[in-house]
């Protein structure tokens, strides 16, 4: 099973991301290049059989964790909704 590390661009809500296989001979060099380009390390390593599975785990883990947290705390869900409405409104105003 391979071990992947994911990197995201800040302020993109994890939509702009890339990843590296930590077993690659060029892993450290590529990691340094991504960080120099403004990417940030996101979460822990993800273990998967292939790249497609790693991406699916990366995407689903975030959504599942957020939904679970919001479902367990109604006041947090409300606050999150207000924040998302505000973000959406600000994006529209900037256009």
SS (H, E, C) the chain: CEEEEEEECCCCCCCCEEEEECCCCCHHHHHHHHHHCCCEEEEEEEEECCHHHHHHHHHHHHHHHHHHHHHHCHHHHHHHHHHHHHHHHHHHHHC
Number of structural domains found in the chain: 1
- Residues of the chain falling short of pLDDT 70: 61-73, 76-77, 95
Reported as a single tens digit per residue, the pLDDT across 73-82 is: 677 667 777 8
Supply the pLDDT for residue 15. Answer: 87
Supply the pLDDT for residue 62. Answer: 55
Supply the pLDDT for residue 79. Answer: 74
Q: Which residue range is the domain that position 21 belongs to?
A: 2-94
């Amino acid at each position: 099973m391979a071990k992947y590390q994911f990197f995201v661009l800040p302020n993109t809500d994890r939509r702009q991301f890339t990843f590296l296989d930590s077993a690659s001979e060029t892993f450290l060099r590529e990691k340094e290049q991504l960080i120099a380009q403004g990417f940030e390390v996101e979460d822990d390593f993800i273990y998967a059989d292939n790249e497609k599975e790693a991406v699916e785990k990366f995407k689903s883990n975030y959504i599942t964790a957020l939904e679970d947290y919001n479902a367990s705390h109604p006041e947090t869900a409300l606050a999150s909704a207000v924040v998302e409405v505000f973000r959406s409104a600000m994006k529209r105003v900037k256009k």
